[in-house]
A and B are shown apart, each in its own frame.
Chain A
């Protein structure tokens, strides 16, 4: 279980991105974080693996205090938390294979990995991860030669190399065509069914309804909702997104005009 307690983040420039946010995530949940852009979703996800250090508050993973971890403990914690990004964050000039292998750096022999040497079993693991997302044939391509959807699948394969218990996905489909959104989210759903906890920020409400087991909503850094996806009706939606918001469906764009 992941337990976030009174999490607050104030950036050096004074922006208050999170205010006293608390919630729990049970193992095996597919928790979706929603909120307008700028509401603090990315900040929240990055506090969990401490890519960003929170200003105050605690994050416990079972009995482990992530917020108090030393640098080497932190590396061990991060090994088990995969992360998927809106911009995929692949090294564009490197091959797909190298990008996927880099997900294994936390486990690898530091010296050999610096020389770029990987044991055969790790390469096998990488191929297997690519097979799980259906693009093993692209292993030797340069990352930037792939389409957006394929790049995000490489991003997922990289996270899989960590054998993660938790996957953090920061708007994983926001840069993709709506058609591809489902394909990517279905991979995450599959991993969730295989036992991984998924914490994912999303924009489109229909996707939230389709994939989330539970939802929290942020507004200006404050948690304004926590509950089941079906509890988000029009009124709640207006409350979270503001009076002017219009509900947009990812899938509605698919329909012929």
Chain B
């Protein structure tokens, strides 16, 4: 093509460029002209499409540059394309920015700190303590009509005695509670447990613990308000049911123990690791036979086996390209919430990944030793045992360990969509803003993943 600048009338070139690019074409640069035409239309189109007239400075700028460029070109000198490129990028980024709704103020320091600070104090361990607990029943709401009156809201346990007055109350009504026989001069947390076992704090605005100190005789009396949410899960809020008010005293002893959330973290982690282990084991079992069907060297002997090979490979490739998370969502719908859905998702994804890796191992088998062992007069079972297995078992094992590694990581994620494991707890803690527990979960995940990573790398090193 003739891309060389040819001397033409600069004025005519500039005039022709009122239609972008035409002047450049006239000056002999067809591609340049074509590119300018397309770019100008594209950028003008973007501005119009998204309805942002404020951005029209960009296409106008490019348009003016185009006339100048055609004019210069006709005089034998091309202009640098820096300006139109810059304008094009500005439009692309600017409009893109507004479309996505990037809002730097949303990531403000203050908000970030409010979330991050509790995460830095992971709720994993707590000081070991001795618990001195007492509780009393109380009926909510008061029985109506012919129903028998509420039983007395009091209880005796050895030295300890607790009661509430009156014996029954409605939501948000005030109740006097009293306990005696506890440790003297000790902080006592008072909290509510609903008939179905939900914990409700009684301090602040129903969002902080209520703590009262006992006197020197080990007694305290105070008033509480029945929390607004105690009947929330009740099918019939007029039905009188027995709730409990707890009085807890804690005395720190030496040492540490897992906190309540810490126990959930451990449980979730164990669930995740087990899920990953089972998924890896199951998928290895399934992937081994499939991998033979996906190995080119074994399947290239006849047209039928080639068709099988292509089909198996295609299915594996498609399956592998679907994120385990998405498969997990599908299984959560099929099997319901819980580790089983996560397990199945990991299995499906891992079978595809492992079968591909295994089949590559099989394809890479050295036929030499097999031939050599055949030449010794060995039976085919012996050939497999001495010529094939030593070649495939170590890399199979290495890939399987590697897969377990990946599955542990993935199993922490599938919980996010209800697939069980630590992710399941994690997403709930995020929703109820328990950032200390979130921090603990992060810590546990990091420790487990890094540890496994290290040992699996060591182990694999030995195998290859």
Contact = CB atoms under 8 A, between A and B. Distances in A.
B18 interface: no
Given A89-B369, A90-B369, A98-B386, A106 B378 contact: yes
Given A91-B369, A93-B391, A158-B372, A78 B377 contact: yes
Nearest to B368: A89
Contacts of B371: 51, 85, 89
B376 A79 contact: yes
Interface string A104-115: 111110100110
Nearest to A108: B382
A87 B371 CA distance: 11
Nearest to A81: B375
A110 B366 contact: no
Contact of B390 (A93, A107, A108): A93
Contacts of A168: 375
Given A91-B391, A114-B385, A79 B377 contact: yes
Nearest to A104: B376
Contacts of B366: 89, 92
Given A91-B386, A105-B382, A51 B369 contact: no
A83 B372 contact: yes
Contacts, number: 86
A230 interface: no
Interface in A58-80: 74-79
Contacts of B390: 91, 93-94, 98
Interface in B386-405: 386-387, 390-391, 394
B442 to A, nearest CB: 40
Nearest to A105: B378
B369 A105 contact: no
Q: Which of B373, B381, B391 has the most CB atoms of chain A within a 10 A radius of its CB?
A: B373
B382 A113 contact: yes
B385 A113 contact: yes
Contacts of A78: 374-377
Contacts of B368: 85, 87-89
B395 to A, nearest CB: 9
B392 to A, nearest CB: 10
A248 to B, nearest CB: 26
B379 interface: yes
Given A85-B368, A91-B369, A110-B382, A162 B387 contact: no
Contacts of A85: 368, 371-372
A114 B386 CA distance: 8
Nearest to A143: B369
Contacts of B373: 91, 102, 105
A102 B375 contact: no
B387 A110 contact: no
B376 A162 contact: yes
A40 interface: no
A49 interface: yes
Nearest to B381: A114
B382 A114 contact: yes
A103 interface: yes
Contacts of B376: 78-79, 82-83, 102-106, 158, 161-162
B250 to A, nearest CB: 59
Contacts of B382: 105, 108, 110, 113-114
Contact of A75 (B369, B372, B377): B377
A114 B374 CA distance: 15
A93 B386 CA distance: 11
A89 B367 CA distance: 8
Contacts of A51: 371, 374-375
Contacts of A106: 376-378
Given A51-B374, A83-B375, 9 more contacts: A77-B377, A78-B376, A89-B371, A102-B378, A105-B376, A105-B378, A105-B382, A114-B382, A162-B376
Interface of B: 366, 368-369, 371-379, 381-382, 385-387, 390-391, 394
Interface of A: 49, 51, 74-79, 81-83, 85, 87-94, 98, 102-108, 110, 113-114, 116, 155, 158, 161-162, 168
The 4 closest A-B pairs by CB, nearest first: A106-B377, A89-B368, A78-B377, A105-B378
27 contacts: A76-B377, A78-B375, A78-B376, A82-B375, A83-B375, A85-B371, A85-B372, A87-B368, A88-B368, A89-B366, A91-B369, A91-B373, A91-B387, A91-B390, A92-B369, A94-B390, A98-B390, A102-B373, A102-B378, A104-B376, A105-B373, A105-B379, A106-B377, A110-B381, A114-B382, A155-B372, A168-B375
